[in-house]
Structure 1
Amino acid sequence: MSAAEGYPGRAAADSPTLAELDARLVLCRACPRLVAWREESARVKRPAFQDWDYWARPVPGFGPTDASLVVTGLAPAAHGANRTGRIFTGDRAGDLLYATLYDLGLASQAASTRRDDGLELYGVRVTAPVHCAPPANRPTPGERDTCRPWLAQELRLLWPTMRSVVALGAFGWQAALSALEEAGWSVPRPRPMFGHGARTTLTASDGTGPAITLFGCYHVSQRNVFTGRLTPTMVREVLEAAAHCAGLPVDGNGTGPGPPG
């Protein structure tokens, strides 16, 4: 099915489970610039990854189908998730994110290196508003909007269990608000502003569904960490608050994984 025949809008809407959503998502070719870049990055590999067979497709979300906490970022990195096929895997941003989840007892191991490394997440699903690697890590507003049906349907399918969302960065915050609104939650006007540690509660548009709390966190990018704008402690504080809001037990001592919920 081509973009003109329904990707991604109808393909996402016609996916009744996360497994079917992910299977359709990885076939998407709706954004020509992103398709060209993800495939070019797989041909012109970094020297350290010459022996890798790059994923070079849209990268689906990762985590259990009954997650109560969702973490959403920006987009896959050209030589990170675009290489490994797992979101936030294979780059410095993912190193910090998954190490923090492990520290809180929400992941089975501290490192995420490849799709088959055995990593499990407990009550957490990690995703992105744009599923293909963009040039210079900068998707356009049009690419964000084209990709939105995938995230909106992912959030809609998590409706029964999801209680909190962590948006990494201002781009992720704005994209999350739009996707949550499309998925059935009411977004106030004017829209809540992004900030590190910001939080806002959104009620279900139908008046009967569950409310969710959206948390803002500076993006876990290498640049933010190297400049000191974001520290591991700051990441942990936001993720721990969001986990408590979602009803997830966390390890307050930072000694590693807790039992699956």
Structure 2
Amino acid sequence: MVLGDGVHDGAGGDLHTLDAEITRCRACPRLVAWREEVGRVKRAAFADEEYWARPVPGFGPGDARLLVLGLAPAAHGGNRTGRMFTGDRAGDVLFRALYDVGLASAPRAHTADDGLRLYGTRLTSPVHCAPPANKPTPLERDACRHWLVEELALLRPTLRAVVVLGAFGWQAALPAFTAADWTVPRRRPAFGHGARVRLAARDGGKPLDVFGCYHVSQRNTFTGRLTPEMLRGVLREAAGAAGVSVA
């Protein structure tokens, strides 16, 4: 398996270390048991594959200006392939949109070693293990937060915008932004598709623009709650705020 992708020389090198540490985490017994059980039992369509069945690290360059924050790996997606949003239908929707706006080198992510690259963009999640029914508990979310805080700290020199997919990710991200030294208003901004909030840096550095977007779950995409046009629109706006060139 391949960890991460495209960490540039001289930028974000410590992300390799962080990614490796994440893959060894066993802090949440329920999540450990589930991810490993899924890896043993497997889905019939993937019976001949070896599942990753470990925590899934972030994916993308270490000098990313844009971060896309999801929820958690899918049991037969990232938990199978070992790469965030790779190998499941939600990932198919996200990578197609990233490709359409010029942030990815291919429209679909198949495996961790398929050669796909992200441009100025990194993907991560507030929970790094696949949870039963795609629902981490609040305790599991909080136990995983320090990994997100460390990732944000490493990305901070270049990071200018974040797209948060879904209300769960939004709730998990706001305390992490605070811990990573951005100022979140005392009255926390509400999640919504198209929501945008600018967070000042407590050290006087560059602010962070945070965008809300409905999650790319099948429930949202199959019902039309989130359309490709809506997703592309948020990604383009966020990329523009981050200073990343898009199509």
Smaller-chain TM-score range?
over 0.9
Residue aligned with 1:203, SS? strand
Query: RMSD in angstroms over aligned alpha carbons?
Result: 1.0
1:169 matched to 2:144? The reply is no
Q: Distance in 2 between matches of 1:144 and 1:247?
A: 30
- What's the TM-score once normalised by structure 2's chain length? 0.94
Q: Deviations over 1:219-252 (max 9, x none)?
A: 000110111111000000000000000001101x
For the Cα contact (< 8 Å) 2:13–2:62, is it kept in 1?
Answer: no
Q: Deviations over 1:153-204 (max 9, x none)?
A: 1011001100000000000111111111111111001100000000000011
* Count of residues in correspondence between the two structures: 236
1:153 matched to 2:150? The reply is yes
For 2:64, give the aligned amino acid: A
For 1:239, give the aligned amino acid: L
Structure 2 residue ranges without an equivalent (≥5): 1-11
Q: Distance in 2 between matches of 1:155 and 1:119?
A: 23
For the Cα contact (< 8 Å) 2:56–2:129, is it kept in 1?
Answer: yes
From 107, 115, 119, give the equivalent of 1:118: 115
* Residue matched to 1:40: 37
Structure 1 residue ranges without an equivalent (≥5): 1-14, 252-261
Q: Distance in 2 between matches of 1:76 and 1:138?
A: 11
From 213, 221, 244, give the equivalent of 1:248: 244
Identical columns (%): 67
Cα offset for 1:16? 8.0
* Residue matched to 1:134: 131
CA shift in 2, pair 1:148/1:16, >3 Å: farther
* Residue matched to 1:181: 178
From 53, 56, 60, give the equivalent of 2:53: 56
- What's the TM-score once normalised by structure 1's chain length? 0.89
CA shift in 2, pair 1:102/1:16, >3 Å: closer
For 1:73, give the aligned amino acid: G
1:237 matched to 2:233? The reply is yes
* Residue matched to 1:12: none
* Residue matched to 1:197: 194
Moved segments of 4+, more than 6 Å: none
